[in-house]
Structure 1
Amino acid sequence: MTLTAPTRTMTAEPGSGATVALRNVVKTYGSMQALSGIDLELAPGEFIALLGPSGCGKTTALRALSGLETIDSGSILIDGVDVAATPTNKRDIGMVFQSYSLFPHMTVLENVEFGLRMRKVAKADRRERATEALEMVGLGAHGERFAHQLSGGQQQRVALARALVTRPRVLLLDEPLSALDAKVRVQLREEIRRITRDLGITTVFVTHDQEEALAVADRVAVMRAGRIEQIGTPEELYATPANPFVADFVGLTSRVPGEVVDGAVVVHGVRLPLLGEHQENGPVLTYIRPEDVALAAKDDPGAIPVTVVSTSFLGSLRRTHFLLPDESLIAAQHAVDEHPVVGAPAFVRLKQSAVAASPRS
């Protein structure tokens, strides 16, 4: 799908969005605690992604912020005002969901106008603002079409325009791209990032797709079991994960047995720096990134004998999986002109990059 460049933009200063804070937010469903004291703060215009596996609480946190879920305790502040008891329609929030939820009997323009009509905005003004919002998402020429005449990506753009047309202080996006094919997902996520940056809207983006989160967010909050395990820039999460869960969830890793010895971890005779707090000596699982594994010659220092299990061409690089002597698998990313033969013996070496590790029995 080819993107149409917008010809007009909605007026806003970068960073003009609201400050947002969730402080010690708790939400339970019966005996299950969906949010266990969440603390999260967003600066004006900041774009934060909530990332985690299904059931970790990221959508519950978003719904609590929107007012679609009541919380058991804690506070939700927008520009310093606690809105925990404020109805959704009074919070000045725009929302985009996974399902487009467009009215089938309305044209695209009428769908986008709907929120303004509910706010009693004059017809001429709402028509102008809806047209402006459609042009921003590249659909200025589609205003008279109906939802069934649009592709999935176009329908989600309409949903985005509908959320933006009210000029909200905060934009919430709940898995908005998961129903789209891969190419459209990449295009639309880049458009969402550009638009929110241009408008300065404070944005919370929920996704289980770590590539998506790392690509668009200023900061990413990695969640598990109702808690935030770590929050930081994409670079911080990838390079210095706070614990093995983050290391394993963010990016590709291989789990390889090792041994902590005096503050470092020894993996197949190679001593590697250890991330995080000091661990007691003993057996661990280490989490090794594929870019920290290189193909090697037999006589290279630290060469580890392996067997080639699989190899995949990925365009700009090749990813190969190897079987180590301890029967664990390790992945390496390398140049496409290196061609390991499946089933053949080979050698790899581990780069001196810090690794995360967790105790093993």
Structure 2
Amino acid sequence: MSLSTRSAPRHDRAARGAGATVEFRSVVKEFPGHRALDGVDLTLQPGEFVALLGPSGCGKTTALRVLAGLEDATSGSITIDGTDVSDLPANRRDIGMVFQSYSLFPHLTVLSNVEFGLRMRKVPKDERRTRALAALDMVGLGVHAERYAHQLSGGQQQRVALARALVTEPRVLLLDEPLSALDARVRVQLRDEIRRIQIDLGITTLFVTHDQEEALAVADRVAVMRAGTIEQIGAPEELYTRARTSFVAEFVGLSNRLDGVVDESGTVVVEGVRLPLIDTTTPLGPVSAYVRPEDVVFSPEGIPAEVVSSSFLGSFRRTTVRLSSGALVRIQHGATAPAAVGDSVFLALTGAAVAVQQRA
């Protein structure tokens, strides 16, 4: 991989095999009184962008820090292209990292900040300047090379941090919630820019976030973590439409939690409607079914309900209704569809497969 070839076609980069294979093998990390990672197994393919998604304390940042060499694993191993790096210090793992905080040196110019890692590697002055300028051009900041951090916006500072991580041409890029300190509009712009650069360079990337929209928007695969383990990993579409556990169904996107019963037909009956199960091995009996808002629609007849609230969200509207049982149900529908508070309406379920959780 070379920044000097950043305009090469994508398929040429894939042929060069720029990205590395990264493997977590039964990785455990224990802190006093707390097991942060509990036997994590995860493989990142060359050039793949994988997001670790989960609530605070689930172990996602610990996993990233163990890969980076900033924490030692208690047991298990981490390999990069088949080489066990578990005992290597951070500076010998050939990894670039971008943190939530920009961590720029305030007394250095933008160019000098980006050059810093190359200087530590004793790269000749002319070469490091050329490479640093190329990295700044890649993130759209070449014209600001002689400015200082305080003269840049937050989004620009994070672009400098990204350029600094990429300029050493690492085999693996780690992103530790790099967008959380930015406002919403800048966050969306920068996440798309990061994805574009990542695809262009073909660099294997691990991205830690608690923001499900970010994870679903940019990752090839998303690993949902819970209590130090990976609950489910898959393509964003798979996680959203085929959540295998109630935790994933609740954490990824919005879901309506409705009472249901799994019967001998191998389906779950919710409000008198039979729905297919994502997990067809679910035992018979009462369950909570997780129905997505877009899988509930207004209908001329069906399940009676009363409109409680309705929010206009630009291209769509989200309306909450109350069923006769007292359950609240959210519906995602067209922005122009009428939904006045107090209206009596009927609902239908689209029949999409659902995740369920057994009830006592």
Q: In terms of mean alpha carbon deviation, does 184-193 or 328-337 score higher? A: 328-337
In 2, distance between residues paired with 1:16 and 1:9?
12
Query: Residue 256 of structure 1 aligns to which amino acid in structure 2?
Result: L
Q: Report the equivalent of 1:357.
A: 356
Q: Report the equivalent of 2:289.
A: 286
Q: How does 1:138-157 map to 2 (within 5 A)?
A: 138-157=140-159
Gaps of 5+ in 2: none
1:42 to 33, 41, 44: 44
Q: How does 1:302-313 map to 2 (within 5 A)?
A: 303-313=302-312
Q: Report the equivalent of 1:13.
A: 13
Q: In terms of mean alpha carbon deviation, does 142-151 or 321-330 score higher? A: 321-330
Q: Report the equivalent of 1:3.
A: none
Q: Report the equivalent of 2:335.
A: 336
* C-alpha distance after superposition, 1:154-196 (max 9, x if no partner): 0000000000000000000000000001111111001101101
Query: Residue 229 of structure 1 aligns to which amino acid in structure 2?
Result: E
TM-superposed deviation, 1:325:
1.6
Query: Residue 148 of structure 1 aligns to which amino acid in structure 2?
Result: H
Task: Work out whether residues 290 and 355 of structure 2, in 8 Å CA contact, stay in contact via their aligned partners in 1.
Answer: yes
Task: Work out whether residues 296 and 349 of structure 2, in 8 Å CA contact, stay in contact via their aligned partners in 1.
Answer: yes
Q: Report the equivalent of 2:71.
A: 69
Query: Residue 308 of structure 2 aligns to which amino acid in structure 1?
Result: V
TM-superposed deviation, 1:9:
2.8
Describe the shift of the 1:7–1:168 C-alpha distance in structure 2 as closer, same or farther (beyond 3 A): closer
In 1, distance between residues paired with 2:5 and 2:141?
12
SS at 1:155 equivalent:
helix
Equivalent pairs counted in the alignment come to 352
Q: Report the equivalent of 1:185.
A: 187
In 2, distance between residues paired with 1:119 and 1:7?
18
Task: Work out whether residues 51 and 209 of structure 2, in 8 Å CA contact, stay in contact via their aligned partners in 1.
Answer: yes
1:54 to 53, 56, 65: 56
* C-alpha distance after superposition, 1:264-295 (max 9, x if no partner): 11111111111114222221111000110001
Task: Work out whether residues 8 and 132 of structure 1, in 8 Å CA contact, stay in contact via their aligned partners in 2.
Answer: no
TM-superposed deviation, 1:228:
0.3
In 2, distance between residues paired with 1:353 and 1:240?
10
TM-superposed deviation, 1:7:
11
What TM-score, normalized by structure 1, do the two folds share?
0.95
TM-superposed deviation, 1:54:
0.6
In 2, distance between residues paired with 1:170 and 1:10?
20
TM-superposed deviation, 1:17:
1.1
Is structure 2 residue 222 aligned with structure 1 residue 232? no
TM-superposed deviation, 1:8:
7.8
2:168 to 154, 159, 166: 166
Query: Residue 13 of structure 1 aligns to which amino acid in structure 2?
Result: R
Q: Report the equivalent of 2:216.
A: 214
Q: Report the equivalent of 1:267.
A: 270
In 2, distance between residues paired with 1:40 and 1:278?
25
SS at 1:41 equivalent:
strand
Gaps of 5+ in 1: 1-5
Quote the sequence identity (%): 66
